Structure 1
Amino acid sequence: MKLKTSLFGNVYSFRDVKDVLAKANEEKSGDVLAGIAAQNTVERVAAKVVLADMTLENLRKNPVVPYEIDDVTRADQDALDIEVFQKIKSLTVGEFREFLLSADEADIAAIRPGLTAEMIAGVAKLMSNMDLVCASAKMHVTATCNTTIGRAGTLSARLQPNHATDNISGIMASLMEGLSYGVGDAVIGLNPAVDSIGSVAAVLTEFKNFMNKWKIPTQNCVLSHVTTQMKILEKNAAPMDLMFQSLAGSEIASRAFGINVKLMDEAYAMMKERKSSLGPNFMYFETGQGSELSSDGHHGADQLVMEARCYAFAKRYNPFLVNTVVGFIGPEYLYDGRQMIRAGLEDHFMGKLTGLSMGVDVCYTNHMKADQNDLENLAMMLTLADCNYIMGIPGGDDVMLMYQTTSYHDAAALRKIGHKKTIAEFDQRMEELGIFKNGQLTEKAGDPSIFMV
C-alpha cells in the first residue's frame, strides 16, 4: 500500500491510512481544530491521489479505531457480508467512485452489504458536490413504520413543534399549524425541553390521541434520551411509534451520549416487543459531523469518517429515520455556509450508501458564518438528490433549540419545485381535509383552526 505521491516536484508522504483519510477531506474547521487537516490545497489533492489508489480492502483492514477497543468498529466489521466484500475488495477507491456514478440503483444496492464506514467515507472524499447529488439521486431506501418513507417522487418532512417549556397547548398549536401546511408525514417528533418520564409520556399520548382523532397517517416520537423512553415502555405509560437516540461514531464518544452498543441492543429489543407502530422499522437516530471531536472521542480521525461510522452503528437497528443535524454544533466544526453545504451532501450520500432511510436537518447556528440563502441552497440540492425528509419548524426558527432550520413553508416550496409529494396515505388524508388539492396547498394552508373543532 502506497502512502506517498509526488506533485509539482514535491513528495507528499502520509503516516497511515487514517492520516490519508483526514488530509483528503474537504476543508472543515473541526479537522483544523483537531490538528489533522491538510496544510493547504496541494497537500489535500496529494492525499486524494493516494486515497484514489488505495483498495477497498486497504480501508477494510485499517479502521480508524481498532476493532479490539471499540464497539462501533466491531458492529461495523461484524456486519460485513464477506461474500459480497470478496467481489469488490480489489477495487480502488477511485474505481469505486466511477462505479457509483455509472452503475444503476440495483447494482449499487447489491454491493452495500460488503461496505464498511471507511470505504463509504473514502469514496465521498473523492466526489464533487454534483457527484454526491448524482449518486444519491440513484439510491432510494425505503422503510416502514406506520407508513412507508423513501419512495421515489416523495419528499417527506418531520413536524417539529418544539416549545421552550414543553407547554402542551403551545406544542399542539405548532403541530396544528404544521399539519395545515402538509408537514408531518415523516414523523411528528418533539425535542423535549424536559426529559422526564411524565412529561415525555404526556406529549407522546397527546400526539397519538390527535393522530387517532384526525386519522393522520404518520408516526409519533419524543426525542428524549433512550433510557427515558425505555422507562416509559416498562411502565406502559404511553404509546410510542418510534424510539429515538443521538448516535456517535466511537465507543468513547457514545459514552458522552450515555449509550453504548449493548444498551442500544437492549433498547431495540424492548421497543420491538412494546412499540405501538405496525411496521418493522421503529428506530430514529440523529447524527452530525463534529460530535466525536467535541467529546474527545475521535481517535485522531477526521469528522467525515466518524460520521460514516455513525451510520454503520445506525444500520444495526434497521431504522425508519436517520438524519444528520448538519450545522447544529457550530463554527468550531463547520465554519460557514460552504462547509455546511458540503457536509450535508456528504452525510446524505453516505447514509444512503450505507442503506439508511436518510434525511437532513438543513440547519445552522446563529454564530456560524451562514445565512438563509446557504440553508435554502442546500435544501434545494438535497431535493435534487432525492433526500428522504427534512425538518419543519414554525418560521424555520426553533424557539427551544435556538437554531435556524427549514420551515413549514420551505417543505411545501421544495415539494413544488422538485415535483414531489408527501407519503401516499398522508397525501390522501391532506386531500380529504382540503389542505391539498392535486398535491398542492390550498387556501386552507396555514390555518390551524381546521383542527380546532
Structure 2
Amino acid sequence: MIMKTRLLGQVYQFKHLKDLFAKANEEKSGDRLAGISAESVQERIAAKQVLASLKVSDIRNHPLIPAEEDEVSRIIEEQINEPTYRKIQNWTIAELREYILDDTTTGEDLLRLCRGLTSEMIAAVTKLMSNLDLIHAANKLEIVTKCNIAIGHKGTLASRLQPNHPTDSVNGMLASLKEGLSYGIGDAVIGINPVDDSVESVKRLLHATHDFIQEWKIPTQNCVLAHVTTQMKAIEQGAPADMIFQSIAGTEAANKSFGINASLLDEANVMIRELGTSAGPQRLYFETGQGSELSAEAHFGIDQLTMESRNYGFARRYDPYILNTVVGFIGPEYLYDCKQVVRAGLEDHFMGKMHGIPMGVDICYTNHIKADQNDIEDLGVLLTAAGVNFIIAAPMGDDCMLNYQSLSYHDVATLRQTLNRRPAPLFEEWLEDVGIMQNGKLTALAGDLTVFHK
C-alpha cells in the first residue's frame, strides 16, 4: 500500500491504516482527545487522498484489529459474502464511493453490495463523503423490519416514545405515554429507560406498558432498556416483553465493559424468540454512539467513526428490529459542538444503513455541549430527508430522568407534516381509528390526553 502523498509541496506520510483512518476523519473532539486526529486541514485532505486510492482488498488484508484478537473482528469477517467481495476487491475506495452515489445504483444494489464489505470498508468510504453525499446515499436504502408491526417503509418516519420518569412511577410514565400517543408517537417502540435496574422495576414497567397496549389495541412494541441480564430475568419470571434491548460497542473489550459478549446476546435472542410477546421475526433493539469505546479505554487507537461502524457489523449478526445511535449524549469530550454532532448523526445513519441495519437516531445533546435545540431540529430535518427509520421523542424534548435534551413529540409531528412523512402503516390506521389522525394529518385531538380517559 502507498501510505504517503504530496500536497502543496509537502509530503504527508502515514504510519499505518489506523493512523490513516484517524487522520482522514472529519474533526472530532474524541479523536483529538485520543491524540490520533489530523493536525491540520491540509493533513486531513492528504489522508483522504491516500485513503481514496487504497483498494478494498488493502483494508481487508490489513485489519485494524486482527480477528484472532477480537470477537467483534471475527464476527465482521465471518459475515463477508465471498462472491460479492471478489467482485469489488480491486475497487479503490474512491470507486466504491462513486458506485454508491451513482444515479443508476439502487438501494437494492447497495444492500447486495454491503454483504461483501467489512465495517472498516464502510467507514473508509464514509470519510470521503460530504454531508449531502451521506444524505443522498442513505436515502436510497429501504430497510423494513417487523416485531409486532413493520417499520422502515419509504415515505414513513417512525418514532420511539420515551416516557421516562425520575422515580419509575407507573402513573407518571403512563401520563407521558398518553401524551406521546396523542401526537402520533410510538410506532417504533414504547421504550423506557429505568432509573432502577432491578428485576422488579423492569417487570412493573413491562406489565404496565403491555397492559395499556393491550387495552387500547395499539399496534406497537414495548421495551424497558435495563441491562440485558436484568431483562432476561424479568422475562423468565413472566414479564411481557416484545423485544430485548442492549447497548453495544465496537470491540470485545468495550463490550466486556458493558457486561456483554456475543454468546450472551445469542442467548438473549433465543429467549426473546421463545418467551417474548411479539410476533417477530425481529425482536432485538441495540443502541450505540460515537465515543463509547474511547470512554471505556477500549478503542485501540482507532478513530471513533470507524469504531461506530464496527458496532453495526457486530449488530448485523443478530438481525435486530431497530438500532439507534445516541448521537450527542456522551458529551463534548467526543463531539464538541453542533457541527460535529450533525456530522456524526449523518455518518452513523449512513453506515448503519450500509450494513443493512434498520437505523434510527436519538437526535440529542447534553447541556454542557456547544449545541442547542435549533441545532438538533436542523439534524432532524436532515435525517428525515435521509430516510431515517425512526427517531426518539421525549416530552417537550427534555428527558427528566436522563437529564439531556432530545426532540419532542410535537417535533416529530412537525417533521412528518413538513417533509410529507407518515407513521408506520398499521400504527396510522390505529391513529385514525381513535381520531388522532385523518388522511395523514393530526386532528384537533392531537395533544389531548383525555382521548385515553374515555
Same structural fold, with TM-score higher than 0.5 when normalized by the shorter chain: yes
> Is 2:107 the partner of 1:105?
yes
TM superposition shift of 1:449: 1.3
Task: Letter of the 2:281 partner, please give it.
Answer: P
**CA offsets per residue over residues 110-143 of structure 1, 9 Å max, x none?**
1111111100100000000000000001011110
Task: Letter of the 2:279 partner, please give it.
Answer: L
Name the SS of the counterpart of 2:64 in structure 1: coil
Identity rate, percent: 54
Q: 1:318-329 maps to which residues of 2 (within 5 A)?
A: 318-329=319-330
Q: 1:182-261 maps to which residues of 2 (within 5 A)?
A: 182-236=184-238, 238-261=239-262
> Where does structure 1 lack aligned partners over 5 or more consecutive residues?
none
1:96 aligned partner = 96
> Is 2:189 the partner of 1:172?
no
TM superposition shift of 1:108: 1.0
> Where does structure 2 lack aligned partners over 5 or more consecutive residues?
none
Q: 1:34-53 maps to which residues of 2 (within 5 A)?
A: 34-53=34-53
1:388 aligned partner = 389
Task: Letter of the 1:413 partner, please give it.
Answer: T
> Is 2:88 the partner of 1:71?
no
Aligned mates of 1:189, 1:391 — CA distance in 2: 9
Q: 1:257-296 maps to which residues of 2 (within 5 A)?
A: 257-296=258-297
Residues 364-373 or 226-235, more deviating: 226-235
Aligned mates of 1:239, 1:417 — CA distance in 2: 36
TM superposition shift of 1:373: 1.2
TM superposition shift of 1:392: 1.2
**CA offsets per residue over residues 184-220 of structure 1, 9 Å max, x none?**
0000000011111111011111111111110100000
Task: Letter of the 1:347 partner, please give it.
Answer: D
TM superposition shift of 1:260: 1.1
Task: Letter of the 1:54 partner, please give it.
Answer: L
1:354 aligned partner = 355
Aligned mates of 1:64, 1:258 — CA distance in 2: 23
TM superposition shift of 1:27: 0.2
Aligned mates of 1:209, 1:364 — CA distance in 2: 32
1:20 aligned partner = 20
Which of 98, 120, 130 is residue 118 of structure 1 equivalent to? Answer: 120
Aligned mates of 2:200, 2:63 — CA distance in 1: 42
> Is 2:88 the partner of 1:85?
no
Task: Letter of the 1:255 partner, please give it.
Answer: K
> Is 2:346 the partner of 1:345?
yes
Name the SS of the counterpart of 2:405 in structure 1: coil
Name the SS of the counterpart of 1:285 in structure 2: strand
**CA offsets per residue over residues 134-179 of structure 1, 9 Å max, x none?**
0001011110101111000100000000000100000000000000
Task: Letter of the 1:76 partner, please give it.
Answer: I
Return the TM-score normalized by structure 2.
0.99
Number of residue equivalences: 452
**CA offsets per residue over residues 80-136 of structure 1, 9 Å max, x none?**
111111111111110000000011112111111111110010000000000000000
2:312 aligned partner = 311
**CA offsets per residue over residues 205-240 of structure 1, 9 Å max, x none?**
11111111101000000000000011122222x111
Aligned mates of 2:374, 2:347 — CA distance in 1: 19
Q: 1:420-431 maps to which residues of 2 (within 5 A)?
A: 420-431=421-432
Task: Letter of the 1:191 partner, please give it.
Answer: N
2:404 aligned partner = 403
Task: Letter of the 2:4 partner, please give it.
Answer: K
Aligned mates of 2:240, 2:55 — CA distance in 1: 47
Aligned mates of 2:208, 2:169 — CA distance in 1: 12
